[in-house]
Amino acid sequence: MGPVIQYGFAGFSLILLAILVWLIRELLTVLKTNNRVIAENTQAIKYVSTITKNTFGIMVEIKDELLKRPCIAKFSQG
């Protein structure tokens, strides 16, 4: 009975080792994909930041133009 148990344990160990290798490969695949997603999200954030800065500048210009008008300027002063 002893050799059967030893062979069973060795077989089970090999199966667990194969599962561990498979899991590590899957983890590396997920990490590579994750890095690509992070890079694309960083690009998107930079793009949105640029658009936000441009929009803010346009809003300041519009505010200045509106305050030049006498009918609106008297409301902002009083």
Q: What is the pLDDT of residues 6-46, one digit of tens each?
A: 889 999 999 999 999 999 999 999 999 999 999 999 999 99
Q: Which residue has the higher pLDDT, 64 or 53?
A: 53
* 69 φ/ψ angles, rounded to the nearest 5 degrees: -80, 130
- N-term to C-term CA, the chain: 99
- Check whether 60 has a pLDDT greater than 80: yes
pLDDT at 77: 55
Residue type, 56: F
pLDDT at 29: 96
Cβ atoms 44, 38 nearer than 8 A:
no
Element (H, E) at 6: helix 2-68
Read off the pLDDT band of 72 (50, 70, 90).
low
Q: Which residue has the higher pLDDT, 56 or 68?
A: 56
Q: Which residues contact 73 (CB under 8 A, 6 or more apart)?
A: 67
Neighbours of 45 (CB within 10 A): 10
pLDDT at 73: 60
